[in-house]
Structure 1
Amino acid sequence: MPILTIFYIKLFINLGLTLGIVWTISKTDLFFKWQQENEKLVFGLGFVLLRLIPWIGIFLIINEDPRGDIPFFFYKAEAAKAGGFVYRDFWSYHAPLYAYIISIPVWIWHNSRAIVLFMVLMESGILWLTYQTYKKRSTRALQLAIIYLMLPAAFMYILVDGQEEVWFWGAALLIWRYTLKQTVNYEVGAGILYALALLTIKVTFIFLLPALLISVKKPVKMLLVMAAIGLPAVGFLYWQIGDLFLMPIQHTEQLMTPNLFSVSRPFVEMIFPIDEKKSTLINWIGLLFTVFIPAYFAFKARHKHVNQVLPGLFIACFVCMMIFQASAMGAYVIAYLMALLFEIIDIRKTWHVAVLLALNWLTVVQPFVWVYIKQPAYKSLVVFGDPSFLFEYILQILNVLCFLWILRETYRKVVLSENLRPA
């Protein structure tokens, strides 16, 4: 199927999903009743209608091949299934256990479509656990869960492309739930969960650690627990493959869009010419802001219990990554989209809903346009003489403005609010 045809189909689906979201928002009383009486049935129907049936239609009936990162994931899963050693026998930009985890569905069905279904099931499990966590805090929790299933970015990037970034929120959610249950002496459990997450997903989950250490009561204790798990794992990897386990770090060197650097680059290039092959310094500068700003939020809210601020710190961390990391791309919004909807967005406020929908549409449209016009790097203002370049650049700016709005609202929630339970 031609790529433009696929894009137009995506736009049509996005429109249908958006109308569905508007309808769902208008039925608050109905969803409140369902939350009290039929939560499992409604959630299950949402999964079947908005995940399972579309997966069957796309990959079994239309017989489309998985796109995005799935071919690379399948390559890793096949190698892991065959007994290969990660980083030595096959490439991987994820944590050491990741390839072996995504090989599980391949054992059952040796097809890349199995990995997409696995990602959908993982996302749905994380959504159910998120709903279970928030339903005691909000009468709109079930309504939010169904809205999430209709968000265009989640629908496209997870159902169609099989992105795994929602696992970040799943890991943070497990830690948060543990601190909700264990309100004192929680550092050991949190440290174990965090260390396991670092061995399972991506090294970028480490970005959250400084802010989390500021928020917990006994940071040294948590670090020692993490070290007790992490150091033997690193030692084993070094013993087996030397420094090849540093492979995931190499993935941060490619310049992507949209982020603060990509929109400011035409002006930056006027002063400092950028060599894309030697862009590591740019990402290191972005890393400082990615780590410092959530840590600052944590410091300002240090009088609060970690279970009051952890979801907000998680959102701040990953939205900062998308703002300041020159290697960040639009798909990374999946990392915090679920948390954003449940923790920050107030569907009673028109502006909140407008930003949420704009972010989702931009996340779907901008990457396609950027790739379609040959991934331009805007090194001077001259390029804006081309209407297609100017249009795509405006989309990037709108994306970054959405990120900045999210960061501001997260600051208000973490630092300024008293974290009262939402209605």
Structure 2
Amino acid sequence: MNFLQDTVSIVKVAVSILLALASWLLIRFPAPFRHQLNQRPALTLWGSFILLRVVPFVIVYLILNFGPRNDTEFFYKKAYSAFQGKMVYRDFLSYHAPLFGYLISLPLYLWNNAKVLIPFMAIVELAIVWATWRYYRSTRPDALLMAVLYFLLPVSFVAIVLESEEDIWFWGVGLITLAYASRKQSSLWIGVIWGLSMIVIKSMVIVLLIPLFFLVDNKFKYVLGLALVGIPSIVILYLMMGDAFLMPLQHSGYHMTPNIVSVTRPIFSGLYNQISLTRLNTISLFITMGVASWVAVRYKHLGYQTLFPSLFILTFGVFMLVQPSAPGFYLYIYLVIVPFELLKLEDRSFGFQLILLNVLLILQPIIWVIYVGMLNYDDWKTVFSTAASTTDYLVQIVEVVLLIALVRKTYSRIKSLDRATTPSFAVRSK
């Protein structure tokens, strides 16, 4: 397919570049923006939402009458099946948690059209961004600026306006647990809340639940909270549909990019081809949980409220790097928290890296899917067989390097939090 013929791809890349430039201006010249934005916080957030979510939706889907694509179509099929009262897993395909299809079917009562899922997801996103701003505004004077920056970042824009993704919901759940972290029985409630996320969003959150076991104060109550939700849910699902409720486990059946496996495949293809993708994913899952659990154990003394945001980023950052079936759009899981937790406006180098990563994660899937045909690079001959495959492979390498830099930045943030809470005499004694 000729690139000039792919109108959607051209528009997607062009809009991403414009958003990237706007994001860079916000980082490069923060003072005038901060002065103007901080005067009316509510107006700023609502204005960002309307300008960067509502207006594009109206133009793309109502005026130009484009039809939803990709995940939006898939979401609508399951939402419509749930709307009809069908049984998840048994009557319709779903790789999400059992209640997800029924939850996203709610807006269909207002407008039975796939397009309605986009404003629905955008409203949930706005609520999470608003809550994140409120959480950080007491510790970050530029928190409102970070919220606007998030709305501008290309991945967040495409994820909502063109894809209606739900991955930001994980951070929304995390915010709820942070609200309970200082209360009595906090470990129990944290377990209950994350247990509910397993039956409302999707099972991928398991990658975070094991590290949290080592972070919470009372491990028994945490497990009890998970069990109070998990055990009855499994029993009910099994009684209703047998082992069909295991359907989400089949979602790891495709190679995705970019990740360490995809960029090292030309070197280690002989090894990778001897191991099934399911086993590779399982190994990668244990690597992710192992690394995140080590960090949770090493820095447990910082407490849940202090460590969790950075641990959240680190866990899913490592997951993206090592999981062969993790697409680049998983950045959307933790993108909203990265500006608040990691970005300092004087650190323009990291700001540039974050923006570049956003642009490349929009561009690279277009090249890989449309012009490379989703091929695995099993040898160097394949890598250099066409200009498209060479470009794609080089872009993947840059993406992986930027993801590694993001994970390193997160770990440096954790170490700085540790130094900030360590008395100076204790540092000298070391």
User: TM-score per shorter chain, which class?
Assistant: over 0.9
- The residue type equivalent to 1:155 in the other structure is F
Alpha-carbon offset, residue 82 of structure 1: 0.6
SS at match of 1:393: helix
For 1:321, the equivalent position in structure 2 comes to: 319
SS at match of 1:269: helix
- The residue type equivalent to 1:380 in the other structure is D
Alpha-carbon offset, residue 397 of structure 1: 0.9
Contact preservation (8 Å) 2:187, 2:218: yes
For 2:108, the equivalent position in structure 1 comes to: 106
SS at match of 2:300: coil
Is 1:379 the counterpart of 2:378? The answer is yes
TM-aligned CA distance change 1:388 to 1:57, over 3 Å? same
Give the Cα separation in 2 of the matches to 1:355 and 1:29: 21
TM-aligned CA distance change 1:31 to 1:193, over 3 Å? farther
Give the Cα separation in 1 of the matches to 2:278 and 2:25: 46
Matches for 1:4-403 after TM superposition, within 5 Å: 4-34=6-36, 36-179=38-181, 181-182=182-183, 184-271=184-271, 273-274=273-274, 278-372=276-370, 373-386=372-385, 387-403=387-403
Alpha-carbon offset, residue 420 of structure 1: 5.7
The more displaced of 200-209 and 382-391 is 382-391
- The residue type equivalent to 1:337 in the other structure is L
Alpha-carbon offset, residue 22 of structure 1: 2.5
| TM value normalised by structure 1 | 0.95
Root-mean-square deviation (CA, aligned residues, Å) is: 1.8
Deviations 1:340-372 (A, max 9, x none): 121112222121111101110111001110001
Alpha-carbon offset, residue 270 of structure 1: 3.9
Query: Runs of 5+ in structure 1 lacking a partner?
Result: none
Give the Cα separation in 2 of the matches to 1:148 and 1:262: 28
SS at match of 2:376: coil
Aligned length: 417
- The residue type equivalent to 1:168 in the other structure is F
Contact preservation (8 Å) 2:360, 2:399: yes
Give the Cα separation in 1 of the matches to 2:347 and 2:161: 28
Give the Cα separation in 2 of the matches to 1:43 and 1:7: 28
Deviations 1:25-77 (A, max 9, x none): 24533444456531001111111111111111111011111112111111101
The more displaced of 224-233 and 265-274 is 265-274
The more displaced of 89-98 and 335-344 is 335-344
Alpha-carbon offset, residue 273 of structure 1: 3.1
Alpha-carbon offset, residue 274 of structure 1: 4.3
- The residue type equivalent to 1:333 in the other structure is L
Give the Cα separation in 2 of the matches to 1:360 and 1:123: 18
Contact preservation (8 Å) 1:46, 1:149: yes
Contact preservation (8 Å) 1:266, 1:380: yes
Sequence identity (%): 32
TM-aligned CA distance change 1:48 to 1:420, over 3 Å? farther
